[in-house]
Chains A and B, each alone.
Chain A
Amino acid sequence: AQTVTQSQPEMSVQEAETVTLSCTYDTSESDYYLFWYKQPPSRQMILVIRQEAYKQQNATENRFSVNFQKAAKSFSLKISDSQLGDAAMYFCAYVRYSGGYQKVTFGIGTKLQVIP
């Protein structure tokens, strides 16, 4: 079974600074996808960024980028120029396809605090 580990229960960053959230996973699959979801106090789950395992290039979405190390099974999220609105719970998610359907495994989350 796949496992997703987020070893940082809480992180804090000064506004306008950069922070990196770590995520590691365990799998024997070669084809899969990785996501970061953000859950602000409203509890809405918001997609931040996705990465296809077959792509070597790291995904970027504006101030959000990932460092995907497939051999190390590591998928960290870097947030640049942190803003107050970035304060949220961040979940790393591993997605694979089984029998044509998605199976998602979430990490336990990292709570990010942004300090003004």
Chain B
Amino acid sequence: AAGVIQSPRHLIKEKRETATLKCYPIPRHDTVYWYQQGPGQDPQFLISFYEKMQSDKGSIPDRFSAQQFSDYHSELNMSSLELGDSALYFCASSLGVATSTDTQYFGPGTRLTVL
């Protein structure tokens, strides 16, 4: 079965640079969630989208922005990168918000290293 695809899998950036992470949800999934997982920490929710509209916002810095496109893929844009942004960034997708039996399926993550 098709899974959530994230690209790139690894990314190395310098401080103050910009990074773009991409997420391709499972086919037919219309909801995307972004999480940040620092070393030795649990995943922290950043932001989510449903049907191309932002549905919820968590602890996402103002330097970050995200959007969901017409094909339901999502991009997380990170500007003015800081050392503390080094983390594993997960994308998860689910099918609709109308069904409460929904489950989030996670992608493999993008490991971002800021030097």
Which residues in A have some Cβ–Cβ distance to B below 8 Å?
A: 31, 33, 35, 37, 42-47, 50, 52, 91, 95, 97-104, 106-109
Q: Is B41 among interface residues, defined by CB-CB distance under 8 A?
A: yes
- Which of chain A's residues has its CB closest to B92's CB? A45
Q: How many residues of chain B get a CB closer than 8 Å to chain A's CBs?
A: 27
Bound form: Cα–Cα A97–B50 in Å = 13
Q: List B residues at the A interface (Cβ < 8 Å).
A: 31, 33, 37, 41-43, 45, 48, 50, 55-56, 88, 90, 92, 94, 97-98, 100-106, 108-109, 111
Q: Which residues of A contact B97 (CB under 8 A)?
A: 97, 100-102
| Interchain CB contact (< 8 A) of B102 among A46, A98, A102, A109 | A102
Q: Is the CB of A91 within 8 A of B55?
A: no
- Evaluate contact between A104 and B45: CB separation under 8 angstroms: yes
